[in-house]
Amino acid sequence: MRPFKSIVARRAHEELGWKGPVWQRNYFERVLRDGKEFSAATRYIAENPRKWEWAHENPEFRMR
């Protein structure tokens, strides 16, 4: 994983002009063992941006 992340980060800096870190700290990977786990991960990926947007629009409900 490290070589992949290094290549992507280097290209992001060179080609897109990004500054600073590209990857989030404390990354971890997870092996999806069956269709149920795959579906749950897919749902999380699809819903997460909506939850983030909602939290910014409703700061009184933001979790700490």
Domain that holds residue 33: 2-61
In this prediction the pTM is 0.45
CA separation (Å) from 12 to 2, 18, 22, 24? 15, 6, 8, 14
Model confidence at 63, pLDDT cuts 50, 70, 90, reads low
Q: Give residue-wise pLDDT tens across range 4-54.
A: 999 999 999 999 998 999 888 877 778 999 999 999 999 988 888 777 777
CA 18 to chain centre: 17
More confident residue, 63 or 45: 45
User: What is the count of structural domains for the chain?
Assistant: 1
